[in-house]
Structure 1
Amino acid sequence: MELEGKLAVVTGVSKGIGLATVEALLNKGSIVAGWGRTAPDLKHEHFHFFECDVRYNESVQRAFDQTISQLGTHVQVLVNNAGLGIAGLLEDMSLEDWHTMFETNVNGIFYCTRLIVPGMKELGEGHIINISSIAGTTGVEQMSGYCGTKHAVRGISHSLYKEVRDYGVKVTCIYPGSVQTNFFDNIESITVSDNMMRPEDIASTILHAIESHPNYHHVDIEVRPLMPKGRRQK
């Protein structure tokens, strides 16, 4: 897809992968609607922030309506990036934390995508990027809730792409390993380090998938840091 002048929606834009993706899209000439609870520290003539908590359908509907009314076009790119993880043994996990993860990571994708897909089908062009995780391909001790949500993202992505592919709409699911973001702020067992991938690395992968030939479809992309524990010494 040629990104110049295209309207893209990115969720979870305050920092990390979301913000890096917004900046990458703007550099390609896209018009970007950022949906999030907190506005990023970003000023650009083609960036428009709409307050949105993806846990709530009413909030997503309001952001969608504002985006369409103010920017006046169909959405051609959707990056479902908003998400969070809370660590803990399954039997110790509070109902609130469990529901927060599923409402954000799973329901949020449903609320956003269901509104944008009809316009993409009408245009005969569109690309949906869902950010899963390595945790969406395996199990991780003390991360059962988070893993459950990211496995759900994988299943949703695989089913959706088969529903929309014949309309010229792509769905790509990305599974990052460790990235230097605030995701680990509340996970005491992991410390952010320079050995992790950078948010802009994930953003570059997102752009690579979106800019591919119309008949070339990246379904799954797994990315990891090359040396997660640093370079081995001889």
Structure 2
Amino acid sequence: MDLTGKVAIVTGVSSGIGRATAAALLACGAAVAGWGRTAPEGLDHDRFQFFACDVRDEHAVAEAFTNTQRELGLEIHVLVNNAGVGIFGPIDGFKSEDWHAMFDTNVNGLFYCTRAVLPQFKKQHEGHIINVASLAATAGTASLAGYCATKYAVRGFSDALFKELRPDGIKVTCVMPGSVETNFNGATPGAAPDPHKMQPEDIAAAIVHALEAPQATMISEIQMRPAQVK
């Protein structure tokens, strides 16, 4: 897909992978509707517009989509389902509200956003959905059981969805990064890049790569790992 003039929605745009993806799409000539609970700092561009949206609320998602079409036009070409939360800890002490917070954001929110764009995508016979999962969707890890469960769900949803939407000319890609240097789970990125972690811009570049694949090609899954290990 040539991204010049295309309209993309990026959820979880406030920071990290979402913000980096919005910046990368803008650099490729797309217009970007950034959805998030808070606006990203320093992302000032005439083709970027922020829409306050908590993806856990299906009514807020529907409103954000209506507002996006009103401001940027009816045609939407890309949805990057990036909004996510990770809360770690052993299951025998895990809080129910933390469990629900992860599923409400990582799984239910992704469903609400996907459902919102599909009628327009089908009308166009064109669209690309990028679901940001994690390598936690490929193998369980101690004290990450809840998070892994959500990301396995995202991967399964993505696999079924691409088969469902293929006849409509709609592409679906599941991106599964490993360690990324972001504020995820309360971590604070270092002043200098950690060579043992990927940067948000690395994930954004992979998303752009999937979007720019030839029309006859769909990259259904991307697994990403740091090139170096400790």
Give the match for residue 132 of structure 1: 133
Is the 1:161–1:170 contact (alpha carbons within 8 Å) kept by the matching residues of 2? yes
Give the match for residue 232 of structure 1: none
Give the letter aligned to residue 4 of structure 1.
T
Distance in 2 of aligned mates of 1:112 and 1:58: 10
Give the match for residue 50 of structure 1: 51
Stretches of structure 1 that go unaligned for 5 or more consecutive residues are: 230-234
The secondary structure found in structure 2 opposite 1:218 is: coil
Is the 1:132–1:176 contact (alpha carbons within 8 Å) kept by the matching residues of 2? yes
Is 1:62 the counterpart of 2:63 in the alignment? yes
Distance in 2 of aligned mates of 1:167 and 1:210: 17
Is 1:145 the counterpart of 2:153 in the alignment? no
Give the match for residue 160 of structure 1: 161
The secondary structure found in structure 1 opposite 2:85 is: coil
Could you tell me how far 1:193 is from its partner in structure 2? 3.3
Could you tell me how far 1:228 is from its partner in structure 2? 2.6
Give the match for residue 105 of structure 1: 106
Give the letter aligned to residue 225 of structure 1.
P
Query: What do residues 57-87 of structure 1 show as CA deviations (whole Å, max 9, x unaligned)?
Result: 0111111111011112221100000001001
Distance in 2 of aligned mates of 1:99 and 1:177: 23
The secondary structure found in structure 1 opposite 2:226 is: coil
Give the match for residue 196 of structure 2: 195
Could you tell me how far 1:184 is from its partner in structure 2? 3.8
Distance in 1 of aligned mates of 2:228 and 2:28: 30
Could you tell me how far 1:88 is from its partner in structure 2? 0.8
Distance in 1 of aligned mates of 2:161 and 2:215: 17
Give the letter aligned to residue 55 of structure 1.
R
Query: What do residues 86-128 of structure 1 show as CA deviations (whole Å, max 9, x unaligned)?
Result: 0111111111100000000000110000010111111111100
Give aligned-pair identity as a percent.
54
Distance in 2 of aligned mates of 1:6 and 1:143: 37
Q: What is the root-mean-square deviation of aligned Cα atoms in Å?
A: 1.2
Runs of 4+ in 1 over 4 A off after TM superposition: none
Is the 1:35–1:63 contact (alpha carbons within 8 Å) kept by the matching residues of 2? yes
Stretches of structure 2 that go unaligned for 5 or more consecutive residues are: none
Is 1:90 the counterpart of 2:97 in the alignment? no
Give the match for residue 26 of structure 2: 26
Give the match for residue 123 of structure 2: 122
Query: What do residues 168-211 of structure 1 show as CA deviations (whole Å, max 9, x unaligned)?
Result: 11000011000010114269xxxx93310010000000000000
Give the letter aligned to residue 89 of structure 1.
P
Please give the TM-score of this superposition, normalised by the length of structure 1. 0.94
Is the 1:86–1:186 contact (alpha carbons within 8 Å) kept by the matching residues of 2? no
Give the match for residue 75 of structure 2: 74
Please give the TM-score of this superposition, normalised by the length of structure 2. 0.95
Is the 2:85–2:185 contact (alpha carbons within 8 Å) kept by the matching residues of 1? no
